[in-house]
Structure 1
C-alpha cells in the first residue's frame, strides 16, 4: 500500500506556490515525506495523456527579457508523413513577479505560460482525428496558451484561416514567434496570432466570422464564465454549421455552472464523456493506476476533459 503523507494538502500547496515564486529556492531540502506529498498534491502532469509525441530539442536554452529560460519543444504529429511542429516554451519551474503584474493589469491568469496542459494535448489530438471538420473553415482558438491545438489545425487540416488567441500579451508573443518558426508547414492556411480578452467590446471586425471555435480547460475560473460564453456567442458565424468545440474537466461544479451561463446566452450544447477510443483508453489506464509516474495525482473530475460542443 502506498504510504500516505500526514502533511495537510493546504500546507503542501503553499510549498508549491513558494517554489514557483522563488527563482533560487532555499538550500534546505524537504524531507522525503513532504516531497512525496507535493508530488501527489499538485495537479500538474509529467507527461499527461501523451497523445502527441514530443521532446525537448538538444540546444542551448535562451533567457528571455523577463528572466525566464526558453527552449524549443518538437511535436511529431501522428499522421501520414509525421509533420513536426517546433514550439518555443518556457522551461522554468518558477514564475517571475512580472507575470503577476501583467495578470493584475489585464485581469488574466498566467497558466498559459506554465506548460502545455493535458487538455490542450487532448484537444489537439481530437482536432487531428477530425481534421476534415476544419477544411476550408475559419477557426479561432481561445485562451490558447502555447496553442498546440491551433498549430495542429493550421498544419494538417487545410483550414482557410486559423487565429490563435490569448488575453495575455506575453503568451501572444510566444504564439507569434512560433507562427514564424513553423510558417513552412501551414501550406495555404493563413495562421495568425491575436491578443483577445474575453470582455473586450471592440471586436466588430471579427464578430460572427468564425466557423469553429476551439478551446481547452477554459472553464475552471468561474469569474470568467460570463465573458467566455459571451465571446463564443459573438464570434460564431451565423451560418448553420458553426460551433465551438471545448475540452474541459468537470472541476467540481465549475463546468456545470459554465454550461448554465451558456444556456442563459441562448446557446445550445452537448456533453460527451467517451468521444475517442484512444483518449478513453489512456484515461482508463490512468484511473487504474497503470501509469502513476506520468500523472501521480490523476483524478477523473479534475483531470479528464469532457467534450462540449456549443452551437448558436
Structure 2
C-alpha cells in the first residue's frame, strides 16, 4: 500500500482540482446529471492525494539537519491544502453557491508556486522548530482568545435574554441584540476551532523537528487534543443541528468550550509541555548539527 502511495505526485491533486474547476464551470452550461457527485469525488481524491504527498514529503527528510516541512515549497503546498479544505467545507455547507471560481485558481496557483520556489534550500531543524513554535503559540493564543470572546458573548446573550423576558432591555444598561451576540458567538466557535487545529498541527510538526517524536501521553497534549475534539463536535452541532433556540444552543456549547479550555491550559502549564526548560526524551545528538557537536566537545574540554 505504501509503495502505491509513493507514486503520488503533485500532478495527481493538481489535476483533481483542475477537473473540479472545469465541472464547476459547466454549471454555466445548464444542469448536468451527476455533476455534483463528480465534484465531491474529485475533491475527495484531490485532498487525499494532497495530504498523502505532504505526509510522504515530510517523512523523507534530506539530511540529518534538514527541517521537516521547512521549505517554502512545503509551506506553499500547506497553504494550498488549507484553502482546498476550506473550499470543500463551504461547498458541503452551501452547494448551491459558486465559490470555486475564487478558491480553486488560488489553490492551483499556490501549487504552481511550490514548483517555482522548489530550488530554495530547506531551513535547518533549529530554524524549523522556531518557526513552528511561533505558529503553534500564535494559533493557540488566537484560539484561546476566540473561546474567551465567545464566552463573554454567551454571558451577554444569557443576560440580554433574561432582561428581555422581564421587559428590562430598555434600561440604561444597553447590550447588543440577541442576533448580534449569537452571530458573534458562532463566529468565535469557528475561529477557535480552526485556530486550535492549526496550533495542534504546528505543535506536532515542532516536536517532530525537535525530538523526532510526539509524546501523545503527555497530559498537556492529551487535553489539547480533547479541546480540539470538543470544538469540532460543537461546531458540527452548531452548523448541522438547528433546534428552536439556535442562539441559546451556541451559548451553551461555548460555555462548555471554556471549561475544556481551562482544563487544557491547566494541563499545559502544570507539565513540562508548557515550560521552556523541558528536556527531550531522545538523544539530542540526533538533531544537532556537526558544528554544535564540535562546540559541545570544546566546552567539555575546557
TM-score (norm 2): 0.25
Which protein has the larger Cα radius of gyration, Structure 1 or Structure 2? 2
**Could you say which structure has the greater relative contact order, defined with CA pairs below 8 angstroms and 6 or more residues apart?**
2
Higher-helix-fraction structure: 2
TM-score (norm 1): 0.24
